[in-house]
Amino acid sequence: MSRWSHKGVAPHGGVLVNRLVQADPREYAHLPALELCERGYADLELIATGVYSPLEGFLGEADYRGVVEHMRLANGLPWSLPITLSVPAGEARQYRGTVRLTRGGETVGLLEVVEQYRPDRREEALEVYRTADPAHPGVAALLAQGEVNLAGRVSLLRLPRGEFPEHHYTPLETRRIFHERGWGTVVAFQTRNPIHRAHEYLHKVALEHVDGLFLNPLVGATKPDDVPARVRMAAYGVLLERYYPKDRVLLGVYPAAMRYAGPREAVLHAISRKNYGCTHFIVGRDHAGVGSYYGPYDAQEIFGAFRPEEIGIQILKFEHTFYCRTCGSIVSPRTCPHDAAHHLVLSGTRVRELLRSGAPLPPEFTRPEVAEVLRTAYQEAQPA
């Protein structure tokens, strides 16, 4: 790990972390083992590969409190979500010194435990998620964690390429690709949903002003009713094949777990994309939201809490976009003079109803090829 000296946007904090090590997992068989959940394993990879630069491990208490209370690490650097590893209080004492991290019983990494502390879960919920309602999926996951946080540097013994190895890149790899393609400016787009025409509109508006698009869908843990990652990736594939310039788009997965923290998560998403080497990041309506816990543009407004140079990536703020039957195109409230009676707006619930019934999705809402991928997946998922 060293100060960034390559061409391109600097990583957050000026350091691109690399905690990947080449080692035989059998060397650590004598160490106490800590089994990681899906989110913990994702966080381990994101820390070790530099997506969460400048973090080198799970947060200690000073950084944790700074993030929860002020959205800053103890040194003042902006950071919006606490990246922590928790264990039950009754198990904490067995984790001292170096601990091997396991997933499915296999040793995948190491944690150098230097600190243990008890977080205030209620305060964390209220500050980070703006609610303590256990019906909120992020709050529910938080309340299910152990009572003690373990802090310290991590190492990753093997890079997991996951379910989509051909699209699974580290920040070092994306930065190299951007450089090889001559992309001086790159806009990133975060999604956990299949792309529809309004998304496509945002991409192409942005591509009028930058060199490349990094389509970076989240493929880690999501809610059970979210569209599965394999279905979304298939939809992205057919869309990019037929409707996007191949030399100006890179599809790469974001292996994070979804926290549904709305505004706070939007900031982390922006910082992560800066670490991948992007110069711009799209934030639309209700970014990373769930239910009605956040206002439609809270995720845009939160960036006003920081100076632009502190975040270090240009935020492209878009209003809600939709198809207007009278305009005959995708528009926004800024460009359309017609009222809601002229607009085609489908809720996620309505889209799922149409897919389950086998009814076609309107071509004004999504491309026919994408609709067919979704329809087939939903039909296959229905009980016989």
Count of residues in the chain: 384
The DSSP secondary-structure symbol of 34 reads E
In angstroms, the CA 191 to CA 286 distance is 11
The dihedral sign for the CA sequence 221, 224, 226, 229: positive
The answer to whether 340 touches 305, Cβ cutoff 8 Å, is no
Beta bridge partners of 112: 98
The dihedral sign for the CA sequence 235, 210, 16, 78: negative
Residue 101: C-alpha distances to residues 25, 42, 374 (Å): 10, 12, 37
The answer to whether 49 touches 159, Cβ cutoff 8 Å, is yes
18 as an active site residue: the answer is no
In angstroms, the CA 33 to CA 320 distance is 47
Out of 175, 192, 259, 273, the active site residue is: 192
In angstroms, the CA 384 to CA 381 distance is 9
The dihedral sign for the CA sequence 29, 32, 34, 35: positive
Rg (alpha carbons) of the chain, rounded to whole number: 21
192 as an active site residue: the answer is yes
State the DSSP string of 118-162: ---HHHHIIIIIS---TTSHHHHHHHTS-SEEEEEEEEESS---T
Out of 72, 193, 248, 285, the active site residue is: 193
Residue 33: partners with Cβ closer than 8 Å, 6 or more residues away:
99, 100, 101, 102, 107
Catalytic annotation, residues: 192-193
